[in-house]
Chain A
Amino acid sequence: MEYDENGVSIVSNDFKKEIFEEAKKDFRYEEYVRGCLNCGVCTGGCPPHRFFDFSPRMVLQNCKSNDPALVWGMMDEYVWACFQCFTCAMICPFLNNPGGVIAILREISVRRGFESAKKVLKPYSRVLLKLTAYGNQLSPDMIQPDFFPDWGPHIGYASEDLPLKRKAIPMPTLQVTNLAWDVAPEAMKELYTIFEEAGVFKIIEVVDPSLYEIIQDIVDDVRSE
């Protein structure tokens, strides 16, 4: 994909329009986008606004402009700057929900497998794998210094000798490090059905085809047991 000087991917006007229409068709859109008088109170309360060029007021204004190009301009990096804390929705005097609009746009980005969505979701592939294939979110073996810099200087110690440390925990830990808890095969099969029905597997296939294949192999194994 080609990008303009603002890092926004270059697509046809028709495509921009299509994306905007898709957002507007979402059942939440009408509730989230109401009148907006540029008061800025949402942006004043928005945590990432202090660190990035990101403003929920602009999210609302771009939507209100009815200009597909302005909405498209947010689809790449912009929508991923939001923390989804919904402070904006709590304080907007018009009851707008800029964070909610962001959620709608992100979902489109993921559903359609846009590059920005792939990039943002890449670091979460381990979590996605654990979650969808094993019904666990985080297991001990995922605790590695590279992935948890925010844990501070003790991450090194925390990630060493995992089997030994597991033994010291006074509750059933399966004595393994690749799972946090045991999920029964019946429960897993039910989870797979839910993920299938809800379109989760399909989304993974779009944003990360190789991850999807790994997950599907495990799913097939569990199902044939």
Chain B
Amino acid sequence: MAENILVIGGGPAGLHAAIELAELGVNVSLVERDTFFGGNPKKFKYKYLFPDLQPAENVIGELIKGAESNNNIKKYLSANIESFKEDGKKFSAVIKSSTGSETKTFDSVIVATGFEHFDPAKDSKYSYQLFDDVIDIKDLERMMGEGNFTRPSNGKPPKNVAIILCVGSRDRHVGNQYCSRVCCTVSVKQAIELKEHFPETEVYIFYMDIRTYGFYEDLYWKAMEEHDVQIVKGRVAEITSGPDNTVICKGEDTLLRGPFEIPFDMVVLASGMEGGPQSPEMADKLGIELDEHGFLKQANVTLSPFKSNKDGIFLAGACTGPKAIADAIVEGGAAAMDAYIYAKKNS
């Protein structure tokens, strides 16, 4: 008899895990809280994915198609796990969806509940939601996905744009002490896209560090060398309203100019990633642990990063910490293997 595995979360990691397991002949139940699969990339209409700037739709669309066309995957949308309990080495879960409640027994479980974008309104110095022209990376990503690069306040091309890194990350005040890992790369990518769209627009990036890790290093070289993006070391201390419908960024250029107050047409906040309310909810429901950053805790970060602290429950994607879509997909596959081995041994 085929194994039964529960995958919670239909983003990149969950979709990939579900497809891999289905290919192995497993009966997969894929539970997604939203009305659609694809997770945050779909929800916020990401446009291009780094490093190769391929259209997000190609990647996410492919995953969704793979899951939808596979009959071994039972798909639950607008669904949640209503109750969950251990049953020997197996698990019993009540899945509640628009079509009603269903109780099922599973051999193992993969949690791939992802992350939430940090809400920049929580850090008042950035005046997010106070000024129309202060947006964040997910807003810009969505706008660009819709082919719109103009200022939200008046629909005109911006003369200059400030991109501010590390918003809601690496900051003891907001409570997120970690680096969100992808926002530097996404921001530099967005700077290049902006410049390609409006070559006349001046683009500034205000940074504490540029962490375009690994092979993405040359992304900001390209931004500087081909697009003349201004990369300034200094975190912005305050955003206020300026003359002629501008917003003023106030800060210190720690290397060159000293104090600055520059009026910008548009400001993009590189807001980071958070575990979101779903992480504690899952920890609570499934009896697994949260880490000190509000993400789900890996049993052993290096040796068994896809295991939770509970046997038979596995973790994949951004629910264990900020990461890129490519990494989330890799983890989906790895967790699928772990979950399959566990199911095989115990079924």
Contacts and interface: CB of A to CB of B under 8 A. Distances in A.
A88 to B, nearest CB: 9
A93 B259 contact: no
A43 B170 contact: no
B345 interface: no
Given A38-B233, A42-B237, A44-B235, A49 B173 contact: no
Among A44, A49, A50, A57, residue most surrounded by chain B Cβ atoms (within 10 Å)? A44
Contact of B234 (A44, A93, A94): A44
Given A57-B252, A93-B170, A93-B173, A39 B238 contact: no
B249 to A, nearest CB: 9
A45 B237 CA distance: 5
A44 B173 contact: no
A112 to B, nearest CB: 31
B305 interface: no
Residue among B208, B237, B259 with most chain A CB within 10 A: B237
Contacts of A93: 166, 170-173, 208, 235
Given A39-B208, A50-B259, A44 B172 contact: no
Contact of B250 (A38, A44, A90): A44
Contact of B235 (A41, A87, A90, A95): A41
Contact of A39 (B125, B172, B234): B234
Contacts of A41: 234-237, 251-252
A95 B171 CA distance: 8
A50 B258 CA distance: 9
B346 interface: no
Nearest to A53: B258
Interface in B143-187: 166, 170-173
B208 A45 contact: no
Interface string A76-117: 000000000001001111110000000000000000000000
B103 interface: no
Interface in B7-39: none
Contact of A91 (B173, B234, B260): B173
B233 A40 contact: yes
Interface string B92-103: 000000000000
Contacts of B170: 93
Given A37-B208, A93-B172, A49 B252 contact: yes
A139 B153 CA distance: 53
A55 B252 contact: yes
B254 interface: yes
Interface string B245-263: 0000011111000011000
19 contacts: A39-B234, A40-B234, A40-B251, A41-B237, A41-B251, A43-B254, A43-B259, A44-B236, A44-B238, A44-B251, A45-B125, A45-B237, A45-B238, A45-B250, A50-B259, A57-B254, A91-B125, A93-B235, A95-B173
Interface of A: 37-45, 49-50, 55, 57, 87, 90-95
Interface of B: 125, 166, 170-173, 208-209, 233-238, 250-254, 259-260
Pairs of residues from A and B, 10 with the lowest C-beta to C-beta distance, nearest first? A44-B237, A44-B251, A40-B252, A45-B237, A93-B171, A41-B235, A43-B252, A40-B254, A40-B234, A39-B235
